[in-house]
Amino acid sequence: MEVGSSVHRWDVTPTEAVALQRELREQVVLKPPAGLRVERVAGADVSTEKGRPTGFGGIVVLDAASLAPVAHAGSAVELSFPYVPGLLSFRELPVLAVAWQRLKVRPDVLVFDGHGIAHPRRLGIASHGGLLFGIPSIGCAKSLLVGTHGKLGEERGATSPLVHKGEVVGMAVRTRRAVQPVYVSAGHLMDLPTAVELVLKAAPRFREPETTRRAHRLVNDLRRAGGEAAELE
């Protein structure tokens, strides 16, 4: 697959990117495919360094039951889009698309370190990436982009709906007792209850799910190695 060929071109201005988000959000499906079986779950992340023009991307596939690693792939790609809040996917998805092409084992669900529809225009990186790769996707972020939520219980598994402009766009989820929640939202081919369930299953010990932790470790290793191991599979 050519990078972005199934969705759009990437050489756009921020104004054009906003218009594209408004178009693409109409294609997002907030329902899992019928009979979805999640045997492999993956995490996607990108690492950048201030003043450096390269993005280091990584995707790590885990066995959904044991959370043992099954496969991974990395990439080092020159960044072509500026950092603009709300337009992160236009900066990072071209990097992740190269890693996706190199991935030998495809997951059933892909978890992004970012937001899905919990986004001002309902098209965060998880929704955009799900459309690009044609896969059920979930956003699991460490901080809020939009919306507010009520108080959560202290226990693991406590949740509170994330509401933006009168619409439930995600869920604050406590993955460890008495630690800050993560913010889960449906990306594409996904609904919120399934997204929350899968994130909790992938986070048995730490605040972040193993998908995010493993992908974050991979991209930081790639960045420190200067991209020399970007062909990792």
Instruction: Using the predicted structure, report yes or no on whether residue 43 has a pLDDT greater than 50.
Output: yes
Instruction: Using the predicted structure, report yes or no on whether residue 32 has a pLDDT greater than 60.
Output: yes
- DSSP-based helix, strand, coil % in the chain, nearest 5: 25, 25, 50
Instruction: Using the predicted structure, report yes or no on whether residue 111 has a pLDDT greater than 60.
Output: yes
Q: What is the mean pLDDT of the chain?
A: 91
**Percent of the chain topping pLDDT 90:** 84
pLDDT of residue 227: 58
What six digits make up the tokens of 64? 């959904």
In a domain, 156, yes or no: no
Instruction: Using the predicted structure, report yes or no on whether residue 35 has a pLDDT greater than 60.
Output: yes
Q: How far apart are CA 26 and CA 23, in angstroms?
A: 6
Instruction: Using the predicted structure, report yes or no on whether residue 164 has a pLDDT greater than 70.
Output: yes
Number of domains present in the structure of the chain: 1
Tell me the average pLDDT across 145-166: 94
In a domain, 181, yes or no: no
pLDDT of residue 205: 93
Question: Residue 97's domain spans which residues?
Answer: 32-146+188-224
Q: How far apart are CA 94 and CA 70, in angstroms?
A: 23
| CATH number of domain containing 78 | 3.30.2170.10
What six digits make up the tokens of 17? 């990117």
In a domain, 45, yes or no: yes
In a domain, 229, yes or no: no
In a domain, 7, yes or no: no
SS (H, E, C) 194-215: HHHHHHHHCCCCCCCCHHHHHH
In a domain, 132, yes or no: yes
Tell me the pLDDT band of 228, cut-offs 50, 70 and 90: low
**Percent of the chain topping pLDDT 70:** 94
Using alpha carbons, select from 105, 95, 126, 114 the residue that is nearest to residue 24. 126
Written as one letter, the residue type at 88 is L
pLDDT tens digits, one per residue of 187-216: 999 999 999 999 999 999 999 999 999 999
In a domain, 101, yes or no: yes
Do residues 184 and 192 lie in contact, with contact meaning Cβ atoms separated by under 8 Å? Answer: yes
Instruction: Using the predicted structure, report yes or no on whether residue 1 has a pLDDT greater than 80.
Output: no
Higher-pLDDT residue of 109, 225:
109
Count the alpha carbons within 13 Å of 119 in the hemisphere toward its beta carbon. 29
CA 147 to chain centre: 18
Give the start-end residues of each E strand in the chain.
40-47, 54-63, 69-78, 109-112, 137-141, 159-164, 167-173, 182-188
The kind and range of the H/E element at 16 are helix 14-24
pLDDT of residue 50: 80
CA 229 to chain centre: 22
Q: How far apart are CA 222 and CA 169, in angstroms?
A: 33
Tell me the average pLDDT across 32-40: 94
What six digits make up the tokens of 115? 């937001």
The kind and range of the H/E element at 221 are helix 210-224
CB within 8 Å of 37: residues ≥ 6 apart: 108
Instruction: Using the predicted structure, report yes or no on whether residue 166 has a pLDDT greater than 70.
Output: yes
Tell me the pLDDT band of 7, cut-offs 50, 70 and 90: low
pLDDT of residue 162: 96
Instruction: Using the predicted structure, report yes or no on whether residue 124 has a pLDDT greater than 70.
Output: yes
Tell me the average pLDDT across 53-80: 94
Do residues 56 and 44 lie in contact, with contact meaning Cβ atoms separated by under 8 Å? Answer: no
pLDDT of residue 52: 80
In a domain, 180, yes or no: no
